[in-house]
Amino acid sequence: GAVVSQHPSWVICKSGTSVKIECRSLDFQATTMFWYRQFPKQSLMLMATSNEGSKATYEQGVEKDKFLINHASLTLSTLTVTSAHPEDSSFYICSASQSDVGINGYTFGSGTRLTVV
């Protein structure tokens, strides 16, 4: 089945630094990937849609200059949290679909736990 890999699984960084999270589709090509953020005891919140070869589209209220998304190939999307602050500490999850319209659902990565100190 489809596998989505996220790296790293956890990261601790100092306030003011930037952190990059990778999302890879291991056995399929994904023209579209999605990034989510999840705070403790809350549901997943969609942050942005990552499109291969074009600019990402962000959900309302998500700062595009804060959360930089690059989808340079059909198997890799990256999320960079720039100038991270403690309030950015969260669980970040990506997802992708084998088909363009996701009719068979999306496969999710295992998530990245970001802690900003």
Partner 1 sequence: DAKTTQPTSMDCAEGRAANLPCNHSTISGNEYVYWYRQIHSQGPQYIIHGLKNNETNEMASLIITEDRKSSTLILPHATLRDTAVYYCIVRVYYNFNKFYFGSGTKLNVKP
- Interacting residues with partner 1 (CB under 8 A): 4, 6, 32, 34, 36, 43-46, 49, 57, 91, 93, 95, 97, 101-111, 113
5: its two tokens: 């890999």
CB of 16 to partner 1, least distance (A): 26
- Region of 2 (left: φ > 0; alpha: ψ -120 to 50; beta: rest) is beta
Strands (E), the chain: 4-7, 10-13, 19-25, 32-38, 45-51, 57-58, 67-73, 76-81, 90-96, 107-108, 112-116
> Which of 28, 30, 26, 21 lies closest to 50 in space, CA to CA?
30
Closest CB to partner 1 among residues 46, 72: 46
Contact 14, 115 (CB under 8 A): no
Question: At its nearest, how many Å lie between partner 1 and the CB of residue 3?
Answer: 11
Nearest CB to partner 1, comparing residues 77 and 109: 109
Q: Which is nearer to partner 1, 18 or 46 (CB)?
A: 46
DSSP 90: E
Pick the closer one to partner 1 by CB: 31 or 82. 31
Q: Considering the complex, what minimum distance in angstroms separates the CB of residue 100 from partner 1?
A: 8
Q: How far is the CB of 69 from partner 1 (least distance, A)?
A: 15
